């Protein structure tokens, strides 16, 4: 193991942390190299064996069909349903009475669901959906706060073969409306509101406005959470509770047998240009992939209490709050509110109270909690923790070390997992047995062949920056962009042909450890959330005073990156601080508070190429006082 930092990337730290003998002794996988090699030499054998650990209504004929690349198919001819493996199969075992879900509300309320109870709720709601005319192949949009009903609704859709499109509860009117429109959803599931930092987020108001813009929704089911008075439209809006108490909500519902390649869900994510893309995942491959990754990486055991502190509205929550923990028969913990409410010890208090054994969160959350000092976590017994995890953006070594020392008491290895909405599950990640280097996601998972290449697709030498690519298909990969196969090809397979382009840049060091640097495109990671400059810009331009806008991401101590916008106003409109604030609020109203620009600068012009494209790279260089680089295409 080399000890010298590679290249000029200041994230490439020299420290190496070795796992303790106790951690190694407990791990599911005790050796990486041989199994990794085998998984690449015989991917069909490796994934076929993993799939055999789960139940299928009908076994597959072929593990991988690559005849129509890049439209890969997995477990072709197999029939299953992810809900059969996430719930039904456990009901035949002692797990029936085990807790599947523990949910804590921000005001202090708690709800728990055994696998038996989860099944009852999912089955009842599945029957409600059926009675609303939801059929196999339909797409139901779910716009909820972090509530058990969010999990129940997702599973209920999957159980009857409908696909879900979950829209993060922090998104707002236009973001919701365009997702409803793209999916052509006839059914929307929302709530009267949700609790965040002691305040109510008025989801139904946002949903009403979105439905007014997109009249495809015929039925809106409303979960009662906060209890305040809201508008209910007769014949369209129904209370969840009311429906669940009707005879139609029978607790008996057959799980629909699905083809392995049938769509499980769409999840919209930001791309480089234009509208968000509907990333499509399937029942078979996604199920096998999420199951295997969580089992090996976080070493999930029956006695674990797993806390993935993400939102089910993002892929992290889909894969690792909902599906994979349940497929693994674990207990998944979920918390509604903010980590700092009412005090910055909220998370640590819950780890102690619920005996959480594994915590999986994002660097931005760690940094946010770290700034309150060690006294808050030190007031609590965090001795139940055995593993920690992080995801969403590169973790800075200071945050890594704080997490490792103050939270993990130097006992708990940190699994820094690199992956994407598109990949379905962890791609580059340590195992509990992996020697760790803070800031590196370490080595590829089994069956994952990653590389760092130059513009011609040739591997670059260790220490050099290049494009991060994946050279062979894997079961959890996205299958397409919903209704837009051309965009799928263009976005992921156009640059390097047979290699999947991730959009990230990275370096590999001499030990083969991958150091992800960040996005190479116009995607900005704000507090780990993925946003496109295009979406922020179109929200700005939708304001009557704005003629043109450009958004860029600049480094931010807590958020990783923050959005800064440059705005050209319409003729006759004067820029002012008040107008800047109005525009920030406008973006929050259209897109959601996370998209709100940090600053808005009024400008008379924007640097553009001769073909009219905004040169965001140049805006960024100027804002950071860096050299402007190649400006030969700049329109003078
Ligand atoms: C992008 C994908 C899938 C989980 C949540 C984000 C960045 C993700 C890491 C990590 C460095 C990371 C990449 C990637 N990213 N995890 N461990 N180290 N960067 O999913 O919203 O689809 O974003 O997040 O830039 O491309 P996503």
Q: For residue 314, how far is its CA from the centre of ligand 1 (angstroms)?
A: 11
Mutating to test ligand 1, I would choose from 388, 418, 424, 450 the residue with most ligand atoms within 8 A of its C-beta, which is 418
Q: What is the mean pLDDT of the chain?
A: 95
Count of all residues that appear for the chain in the document = 636
Mutating to test ligand 1, I would choose from 271, 416, 419, 491 the residue with most ligand atoms within 8 A of its C-beta, which is 419
Task: Tell me what percent of the residues of the chain surpass a pLDDT of 70.
Answer: 98
Q: What is the pLDDT of residue 522?
A: 85
Mutating to test ligand 1, I would choose from 168, 271, 389, 391 the residue with most ligand atoms within 8 A of its C-beta, which is 391
Q: What is the mean pLDDT of residues 66-87?
A: 98
Q: What is the mean pLDDT of residues 34-38?
A: 97
Q: For residue 479, how far is its CA from the centre of ligand 1 (angstroms)?
A: 19
Lining ligand 1 with CB less than 6 A are: 269, 315-316, 391-394, 416-421, 441, 502-504, 516, 518-519, 525, 530
From the list 461, 434, 441, the residue with the least C-alpha distance to 518 is 441
Reading the block at residue 549, the tokens are 């806008």
Q: For residue 576, how far is its CA from the centre of ligand 1 (angstroms)?
A: 36
Rounded CA-CA distance 134/126 in Å is 9
Q: What is the mean pLDDT of residues 551-570?
A: 95
Q: What is the pLDDT of residue 634?
A: 80
Identify the band that residue 5 occupies on the pLDDT scale cut at 50, 70 and 90: very low
pLDDT, tens digit, 9 for 90 and up, residues 119-159 = 999 999 999 999 999 999 999 999 999 999 999 999 999 99
From the list 491, 473, 471, 472, the residue with the least C-alpha distance to 481 is 491
Q: For residue 290, how far is its CA from the centre of ligand 1 (angstroms)?
A: 16
| 533-541 vs 577-590: helix crossing angle, rounded to 10 | 120
Reading the block at residue 415, the tokens are 């699994």
C-beta separation of 12 from 510 below 8 A: no
Task: Tell me what percent of the residues of the chain surpass a pLDDT of 90.
Answer: 91
Rounded CA-CA distance 460/483 in Å is 36
User: Atom 2 in ligand 1: which residue has the minimum CA distance?
Assistant: 420
Q: What is the mean pLDDT of residues 556-577?
A: 95
Q: For residue 70, how far is its CA from the centre of ligand 1 (angstroms)?
A: 22
pTM equals 0.95
Q: For residue 270, how far is its CA from the centre of ligand 1 (angstroms)?
A: 12
- E strand intervals along 545-602: 546-556, 560-569, 599-602
Q: What is the pLDDT of residue 609?
A: 86
Identify the band that residue 6 occupies on the pLDDT scale cut at 50, 70 and 90: very low
Q: Which residue has the higher pLDDT, 209 or 633?
A: 209
Rounded CA-CA distance 508/465 in Å is 8
pLDDT, tens digit, 9 for 90 and up, residues 307-348 = 999 999 999 999 999 999 999 999 999 999 999 999 999 999
Identify the band that residue 628 occupies on the pLDDT scale cut at 50, 70 and 90: confident
User: Atom 3 in ligand 1: which residue has the minimum CA distance?
Assistant: 420
Residue 441 has pLDDT above 70, yes or no: yes
Identify the band that residue 271 occupies on the pLDDT scale cut at 50, 70 and 90: confident
Residue 433 has pLDDT above 70, yes or no: yes
Instruction: Count the neighbouring beta carbons within 10 Å of the beta carbon of residue 53.
Output: 12
Q: Which residue, chain included where needed, has tokens 């209910």?
A: 232
Q: What is the pLDDT of residue 4?
A: 33
Mutating to test ligand 1, I would choose from 266, 281, 420 the residue with most ligand atoms within 8 A of its C-beta, which is 420
Reading the block at residue 612, the tokens are 């009219």
Reading the block at residue 43, the tokens are 């991917």
Burial 580-592 (b: 16+ CB within 10 A, else e): beebbebbbbbbb
């Amino acid at each position: 193991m080399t000890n010298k930092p590679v290249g000029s990337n200041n994230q490439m730290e020299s420290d190496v942390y070795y796992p303790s003998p106790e951690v190694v002794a407990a791990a599911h996988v005790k050796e990486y190299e041989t199994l990794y090699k085998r998984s690449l030499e015989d991917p069909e054998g490796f994934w076929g064996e993993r799939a055999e650990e789960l139940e299928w209504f009908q076994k597959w004929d072929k593990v991988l069909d690559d005849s129509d690349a890049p439209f890969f198919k997995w477990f072709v001819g197999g029939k299953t349903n992810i809900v059969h493996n996430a719930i039904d199969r456990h009901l035949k075992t002692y797990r029936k009475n085990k807790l599947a879900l523990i949910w804590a509300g921000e005001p202090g309320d708690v709800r728990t669901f055994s696998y038996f109870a989860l099944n009852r709720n999912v089955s009842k709601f599945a029957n409600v959906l059926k009675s609303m005319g939801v059929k196999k192949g339909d797409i139901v949009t779910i716009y909820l706060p972090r509530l058990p009903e969010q999990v129940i609704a997702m599973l209920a859709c999957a159980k009857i073969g409908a696909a879900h499109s979950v829209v993060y509860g922090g998104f707002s009117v236009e973001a919701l409306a365009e997702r409803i429109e793209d999916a052509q959803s006839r059914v929307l599931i929302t709530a009267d509101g949700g609790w965040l930092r002691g305040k109510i987020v008025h989801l139904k108001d946002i949903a009403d406005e979105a439905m007014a813009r997109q009249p495809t929704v015929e039925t809106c089911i409303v979960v009662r959470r906060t209890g305040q008075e809201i508008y209910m439209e007769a014949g369209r809006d129904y209370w969840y509770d009311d429906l669940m108490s009707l005879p139609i909500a029978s607790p008996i519902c057959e799980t629909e047998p699905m083809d392995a390649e049938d769509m499980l869900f769409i999840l919209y994510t930001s791309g480089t240009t234009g509208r968000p893309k509907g990333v499509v995942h399937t029942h078979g491959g996604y199920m096998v992939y999420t199951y295997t990754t969580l089992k090996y990486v976080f070493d999930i055991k029956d006695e674990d209490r797993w806390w993935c502190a993400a939102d089910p509205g993002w892929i992290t929550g889909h894969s690792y709050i909902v599906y994979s923990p349940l497929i693994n028969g674990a207990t998944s913990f979920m918390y509604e509110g903010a980590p700092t409410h009412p005090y910055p010890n909220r998370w640590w208090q819950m780890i102690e109270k619920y005996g959480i054994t594994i915590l999986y969160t994002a660097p931005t959350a760690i940094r946010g909690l770290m700034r309150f000092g060690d006294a808050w976590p030190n007031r609590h017994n965090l001795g139940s923790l055995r593993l920690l995890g992080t995801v969403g953006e590169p973790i800075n070594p200071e945050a890594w070390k704080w997490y490792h020392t103050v939270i993990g008491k130097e006992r708990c290895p940190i699994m820094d997992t690199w992956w994407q909405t598109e990949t379905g599950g962890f791609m580059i990640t340590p195992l509990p047995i992996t020697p760790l280097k803070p800031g590196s996601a370490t080595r590829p998972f089994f069956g994952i062949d990653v590389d760092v290449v130059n513009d011609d697709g040739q591997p670059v030498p260790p220490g050099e920056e290049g494009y991060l690519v994946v050279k062979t298909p894997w079961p959890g990969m996205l299958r397409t962009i919903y209704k837009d196969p051309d965009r799928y090809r263009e976005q992921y397979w156009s640059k390097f042909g047979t290699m999947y382009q991730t959009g990230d840049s990275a370096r590999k060091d001499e030990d083969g450890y991958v150091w992800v640097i960040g996005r190479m495109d116009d995607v900005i990671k704000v507090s780990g959330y993925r946003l496109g400059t295009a979406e922020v810009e179109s929200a700005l331009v939708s304001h009557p005073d704005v003629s043109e806008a450009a958004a860029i991401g600049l480094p931010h101590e807590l958020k990783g990156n923050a959005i800064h916008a440059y705005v050209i106003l319409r003729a006759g409109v004067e820029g002012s601080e008040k107008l800047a604030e109005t525009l920030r609020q406008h973006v929050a109203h259209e897109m959601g508070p996370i998209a709100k620009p940090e600053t808005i600068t009024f400008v008379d012009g924007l640097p553009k190429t001769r073909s009219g494209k905004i040169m965001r790279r140049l805006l960024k260089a100027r804002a950071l006082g860096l050299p402007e680089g190649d400006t030969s295409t700049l329109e003078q």
